[in-house]
C-alpha cells in the first residue's frame, strides 16, 4: 500500500477513535500564551514554544469549532457540578496564560469574530504595570546584537553560577530561561535586572491593561488568576503562598471583570500544599500536565491541559497525535 494512503487511513482512524470514543465525557482544555503576527512569529528567536501566529490561531479555532463544543471554563465547572452533559460533541475550553498584551491585539479580534469563549489567566502584578515578564526581558537582553565583548563577559560572569560553565560556549537563550525558571521569583528578577543593567536596557512591559480586560469581558472573555508575581508556588512560604493566591483573586475581582474562580499555576508548579491552599479560594486549578479532564470528576485542583504550539495549531495530524497521547494519560 502506498505510504500516503496508509498515512491517510491512519489519520482517519485516529480521528474516528478520538471523536467517537476517547474525547466524549471529557473536556479538552487547550493552552496558549502569546499570539503574534506571522512576521513577529517568524522573527522570534526564543520562547517560540509559547507563541503561535494569528494565522495559526484562527486556523486552529476554526478546526476545533467544527469538531468540539467550545464552552467557557465556567460552563465546564457547571457541567462538572451538575453532572449534566448535554452536548453531542466533545467539549473544549480555550485558555491563555500570563496576560500578554498581544492577547488583546492579536487573539481577541479572532476570538470575537469566531464567537469563541476563552479564559485569560492574569498574573495581576503585570497588568497595567511598567514591570514586564522577566523571562521576556531577559531573553530580549541576551538576544540584543549590539552588546560589546565586555558586556558579554560581564553577563557570562552573572549567569555562570546558575547556568554553569556551558555559558561560555555561547548563549542558548531558551535553556538559560529554563534554568532560571527553577529559581525563586526574587532571584529570577534580580538576575534579570542585573543583566539588563549590564546591557544598558530597562524593564519593558508586555502585559494587558485593565481597560483591555474590561473590553474583552464584554465579549465572552473571562479572567482567572495566575497569581500576582508568577512565582514557583512550591518554593514559597505558607504566608507567601496564601498571599499570592488570595490577593491575585481579590485584585482581579475588584476590577469588575467577567471572572471565573480558577487558578492556573505558573510553570504548572504545584503540590499537595499548594492544592490545599488553592482549594480555600478557588473552584478549580489548572496545571500544565498533558491530559483530558473527565467531566465526571468534581474535585479539580489539578486539571491537565493540552498545550498548543504553532506547528500543532497548523497541522491536524499533529493535534490528533497529541490528543491521543492526552487521552492515554488517565
Ligand atoms: Zn505563566
Identify the CA nearest to 316 among candidates 18, 2, 111.
18
| pLDDT tens per residue, range 74-99 | 999 999 988 777 777 899 999 999 99
| Euclidean distance between CA atoms 318 and 313, whole angstroms | 8
Report how far ligand 1's centroid is from the alpha carbon of 266 (Å).
Answer: 4
| pLDDT tens per residue, range 150-205 | 999 999 999 988 888 777 778 899 999 999 998 888 899 999 999 999 999 888 89
Report how far ligand 1's centroid is from the alpha carbon of 224 (Å).
Answer: 12
| pLDDT tens per residue, range 194-205 | 999 999 988 889
Report how far ligand 1's centroid is from the alpha carbon of 3 (Å).
Answer: 41
Rg over alpha carbons for the chain, rounded to the nearest Å, is 21
The β-bridge relationship of strands 26-32 and 293-294 is antiparallel
| C-alpha separations of 273 from 93, 224, 233, 237, 242 in Å | 27, 20, 9, 10, 11
CATH architecture of the region 3-131+207-327: Alpha-Beta Barrel (3.20)
C-alpha cell at 228: 500576582
Task: Name the band, by pLDDT with cuts 50, 70 and 90, for residue 1.
Answer: low
**Mean pLDDT computed over 195-216:** 94
Which pLDDT score, from 0 to 100, does residue 285 have? Answer: 98
Neighbours of 261 (CB within 10 A): 15
Report how far ligand 1's centroid is from the alpha carbon of 88 (Å).
Answer: 33
Is 299 a residue whose pLDDT tops 80?
A: no
Report how far ligand 1's centroid is from the alpha carbon of 35 (Å).
Answer: 14
| Euclidean distance between CA atoms 251 and 229, whole angstroms | 13
* Percent of residues, the chain, with pLDDT higher than 70: 97
Report how far ligand 1's centroid is from the alpha carbon of 252 (Å).
Answer: 16
> pTM of this prediction?
0.92
| C-alpha separations of 68 from 30, 51, 61 in Å | 12, 23, 10
Report how far ligand 1's centroid is from the alpha carbon of 132 (Å).
Answer: 13
- Residues forming beta bridges with residue 70, ordered by sequence position: 92
Report how far ligand 1's centroid is from the alpha carbon of 285 (Å).
Answer: 13
Report how far ligand 1's centroid is from the alpha carbon of 87 (Å).
Answer: 31
The β-bridge relationship of strands 51-53 and 69-70 is unpaired
Buried b (16+ CB within 10 A) or exposed e, 161-185: eebeeebeeebebeebbebbbebeb
Report how far ligand 1's centroid is from the alpha carbon of 121 (Å).
Answer: 8
Q: How many CA atoms lie within 13 A of 15 on its CB side?
A: 15
Among 13-22, 185-194, 278-287, 298-307, the range with the most confident prediction by mean pLDDT is 278-287
Report how far ligand 1's centroid is from the alpha carbon of 227 (Å).
Answer: 9
Which pLDDT score, from 0 to 100, does residue 38 have? Answer: 96
Map out the domains of the chain as residue ranges.
Answer: 3-131+207-327, 134-199
Report how far ligand 1's centroid is from the alpha carbon of 123 (Å).
Answer: 8
Amino acid at each position: 500500500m502506498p505510504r500516503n494512503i496508509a498515512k491517510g487511513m491512519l489519520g482517519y482512524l485516529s480521528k474516528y477513535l478520538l471523536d467517537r470514543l476517547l474525547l466524549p465525557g471529557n473536556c479538552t482544555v487547550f493552552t496558549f500564551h502569546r499570539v503574534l503576527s506571522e512576521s513577529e512569529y517568524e522573527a522570534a528567536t526564543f520562547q517560540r514554544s509559547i507563541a503561535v501566529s494569528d494565522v495559526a490561531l484562527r486556523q486552529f479555532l476554526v478546526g476545533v469549532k467544527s469538531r468540539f463544543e467550545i464552552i467557557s471554563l465556567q460552563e465546564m465547572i457547571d457541567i462538572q457540578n451538575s453532572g449534566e452533559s448535554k452536548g453531542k460533541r466533545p467539549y473544549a475550553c480555550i485558555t491563555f496564560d500570563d496576560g500578554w498584551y498581544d492577547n488583546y491585539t492579536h487573539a481577541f479580534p479572532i476570538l470575537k469574530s469566531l464567537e469563541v469563549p476563552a479564559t485569560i489567566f492574569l498574573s495581576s502584578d503585570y497588568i497595567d504595570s511598567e514591570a514586564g515578564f522577566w523571562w521576556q526581558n531577559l531573553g530580549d537582553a541576551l538576544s540584543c546584537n549590539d552588546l560589546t565583548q565586555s558586556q558579554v563577559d560581564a553577563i557570562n560572569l552573572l549567569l555562570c553560577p546558575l547556568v554553569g560553565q556551558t555559558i561560555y560556549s555561547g548563549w542558548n537563550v531558551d535553556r538559560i530561561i529554563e534554568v532560571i525558571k527553577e529559581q525563586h521569583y526574587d532571584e529570577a528578577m534580580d538576575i534579570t535586572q542585573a543583566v539588563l543593567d549590564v546591557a544598558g536596557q530597562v524593564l519593558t512591559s508586555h502585559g494587558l491593561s485593565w481597560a483591555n480586560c474590561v473590553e474583552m469581558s464584554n465579549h465572552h472573555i473571562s479572567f482567572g488568576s495566575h497569581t500576582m508575581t508568577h512565582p514557583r508556588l512550591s518554593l514559597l512560604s505558607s504566608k507567601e503562598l496564601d498571599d499570592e493566591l488570595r490577593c491575585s483573586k481579590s485584585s482581579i475581582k475588584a476590577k469588575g471583570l467577567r471572572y471565573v474562580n480558577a487558578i492556573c499555576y505558573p510553570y504548572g508548579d504545584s503540590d499537595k500544599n499548594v492544592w490545599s491552599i488553592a482549594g480555600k479560594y478557588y473552584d478549580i486549578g489548572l496545571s500544565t500536565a498533558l491530559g483530558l479532564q473527565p467531566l465526571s470528576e468534581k474535585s479539580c485542583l489539578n486539571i491537565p491541559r493540552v498545550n498548543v504550539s504553532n506547528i500543532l495549531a497548523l497541522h491536524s495530524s499533529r493535534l490528533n497525535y497529541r490528543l491521543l497521547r492526552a487521552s492515554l494519560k488517565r
